Amino acid sequence: MPLLVMKFGGTSVADLERIRNAAGKVQREVERGYDVIVIVSAMSGKTNELVGWVEQTSPLFDAREYDAVVSSGENVTAGLMALTLQEMGVPARSWQGWQVPINTTDAHSAARFVDIPRDNIDRKFAEGFKVAVIAGFQGIGPDGRITTLGRGGSDTTAVAFAAAFGAERCDIYTDVDGIYTTDPRITNKARKLEKIAFEEMLELASLGAKVLQTRSVELAMRYKVRLRVLSSFEETDENSGTLVCDEDEIMESKVVNGVAYSREEAKITLVTVEDRPGISAAIFAPLAEAGVNVDMIVQNISEKDYEDHPGSVTDMTFSVPINQVERARKVMEEARTAGHIAYEELIADTEVAKVSVVGIGMRSATGVAARMFRALADENINIKVIATSEIKISVLIERKYMELAVQALHDAFGLEAA
């Protein structure tokens, strides 16, 4: 029997009516001849509520009890989904993570998959059940305690089950009808993509596109799990949504396939850092240990020199999430006090945004950077930092120009045309 994985996010199961709507989509796939594994999130807003209760009860909480509490939202949804399917005449059973079991590492609230044994669920399918409803976002650690996978972990759960069970496809149902060339709220020229390569989707997810969780795309790319993103709130068929697939399935890709952005960026510059071997490690190792997520890095010739050592200093600029600026500042001050690094001043600019163009076609095309920079220059948008990879170019600009930049780049690369 062919098998399909279907994942429903929080907005798709926000209340009983929406659960019935989602169950109807599952029922249609069963009628088409599939066995179905359904992965569900907690009802919209429920996880935030549970996290709030934990923090109010115990500000310095035990991570194991935190996972026990916040994973409960998915358990409720799974049970309600199974009951709804049963009422529709579809043989269904719900499963919590420990019942499968979904074996994970013991890193509470940030666990990673170890393995997903198939025996228990395969046995139920053999007995005549058509749907296994799995509580997403959770598993069981080596100590037998409940673990959670981090926010957005239900996407990763869905991909992991699709890989473990050799599913024909993994359908991610959400509140949008696919993946667009950019955010339709910024430009009405944004176009829904029929297909997008794993690598492109991974870059877009990591650069700020919130349709899919980054870890889920990484997992899908590793195990070649075909993903389809589609809307829970529209009638769908086999051609609906956007397929995330291997590059080989795409006949010919445009040079640039999407424009991504992130508002929540900050730029930090360490002025007159010693220019010596090992200085980069002395700066970025303690930042990594403190959990500061450094992205773009640029080293410049400093305008200032130490009086006795002309030419021996540099300016080091890097970007971090805006909510990590104070943590980064504290780490750098501690490193300077301890004598590990020396710098004259730390300057934080919290009024920047990151805008990126992404496309696997960049590998074989020239002039992409020139076209991007010209489009921004024509709008008088100054570039502060540039970073590139094989299939993306990212820039930091003033945040007030972010939407203008996205619109200009979308037009410059003709993304409104199929």
The closest of 324, 401, 309 to 355, measured between CA atoms, is 401
- What's the pLDDT score for residue 305? 52
- Which residue among 230, 248, 266 closes a domain? 248
Q: What's the whole-model pTM score? A: 0.84
- 175 labeled part of a ligand binding site: yes
- 174 labeled part of a ligand binding site: yes
Residues 220 and 312 in one domain: no
Instruction: Determine, yes or no, domain membership for 149.
Output: yes
- 84 labeled part of a ligand binding site: no
Would you say 74 and 137 are in contact if contact means Cβ atoms under 8 Å apart? yes
Can you point out the beta strands (E) in 49-108?
Answer: 92-95, 103-104
Residues 139 and 262 in one domain: no
| Torsion-angle region of 114 (φ positive above 0: left; ψ -120 to 50: alpha; else: beta) | alpha
Instruction: Determine, yes or no, domain membership for 321.
Output: yes
Residues 176 and 295 in one domain: no
Task: Write the CA distances from 57 to 52, 53, 148, 149, 194, integer angstroms.
Answer: 9, 6, 19, 22, 47
- 180 labeled part of a ligand binding site: yes
Question: What is the separation of C-alpha 192 from the centre of its chain, rounded to a whole number of angstroms?
Answer: 19
Residues 63 and 165 in one domain: yes
- 211 labeled part of a ligand binding site: yes
- 388 labeled part of a ligand binding site: no
- 137 labeled part of a ligand binding site: no
Residues 347 and 259 in one domain: yes
- 215 labeled part of a ligand binding site: no
Domain holding 138, by residue range, is 3-248
- 326 labeled part of a ligand binding site: no
Residues 166 and 113 in one domain: yes
Instruction: Determine, yes or no, domain membership for 184.
Output: yes
- 150 labeled part of a ligand binding site: no
Q: Name the DSSP class of 41.
A: P
Domain at 27, CATH number = 3.40.1160.10
Instruction: Determine, yes or no, domain membership for 418.
Output: no
Peptide bond into 101 cis (omega under 30): yes
Instruction: Determine, yes or no, domain membership for 56.
Output: yes
Residues 225 and 270 in one domain: no
Query: Domain count of the chain?
Result: 2
- 333 labeled part of a ligand binding site: no
Residues 407 and 271 in one domain: yes
Residues 263 and 120 in one domain: no
Name the H helices within 207-341.
Answer: 214-223, 279-289, 325-337
- What's the pLDDT score for residue 303? 57
Residues in the chain with pLDDT values less than 70: 208-209, 252, 301-311
- What's the pLDDT score for residue 313? 83
Which residues are 268's β-sheet partners? 318, 348
Name the H helices within 133-197.
Answer: 153-165
Instruction: Determine, yes or no, domain membership for 106.
Output: yes
Residues 243 and 290 in one domain: no
* Count of CB atoms situated within 10 Å of the CB of 107: 14
- 8 labeled part of a ligand binding site: yes
Residues 374 and 348 in one domain: yes
Would you say 32 and 131 are in contact if contact means Cβ atoms under 8 Å apart? no
- Which residue among 199, 225, 248 closes a domain? 248
- What's the pLDDT score for residue 306? 47
Domain at 385, CATH number = 3.30.2130.10
Task: Write the CA distances from 169 to 9, 230, 249, 327, integer angstroms.
Answer: 17, 13, 14, 41
* Count of CB atoms situated within 10 Å of the CB of 281: 11
User: Which structure tokens are listed for 144?
Assistant: 């037998």
- Which residue among 248, 279, 302 closes a domain? 248
